[in-house]
Amino acid sequence: MSQHTFITAFAANNRHDQQEGTSTAGQVATLRCGWDRRLGEFFLNLTAGEGDEAERLYDTLLEGAIYEAIEIKFICDYHGIELPADFLRTLEAEELANTGNKIVRWSLAGPVVEFEEVGR
């Protein structure tokens, strides 16, 4: 499984806050997602806040599998999260290559690969 982590802030006036009557704008948003090679699907975990106080807003373990990377963009758009350039293309490439055992941290400047299995 690949795992991508992106920490940012929720945008003001996001659709989630408008529809749910919540106030995540400006809070820390932590996005963890990737390609699960064994299951043949994407996973996504999205939290608001930090540490033990973080609130789970989306989790494929509860919501069900994601089969196309574009669905991750739709969920992030709904929650007011702007993904870095090439984020979705990277996930799509990992799906095509059936990538596993890879850890990537993202910023708006781009990705930093922390670990990647070689020779598989």
Domain range for 92 is: 2-116
Q: Which residues of the chain have pLDDT under 70?
A: 119-120
Q: Quote the pLDDT of residue 27.
A: 95
Q: Quote the pLDDT of residue 118.
A: 81
DSSP characters over the chain: -EEEEEEEEPPTT-HHHHHHT---TTSEEEEEEEEETTTTEEEEEEEESSGGG-EEEEEHHHH--B-SHHHHHHHHHHTT-PPPTTHHHHHHHHHHHT--SEEEEEETTEEEEEEE----
Domain tally, the chain: 1
Tens-digit pLDDT profile for residues 36-63: 999 999 999 999 999 899 999 999 999 9
Q: Quote the pLDDT of residue 79.
A: 96
Q: Quote the pLDDT of residue 55.
A: 95
- How far apart CA 98 and CA 94 sit, in angstroms, is 6
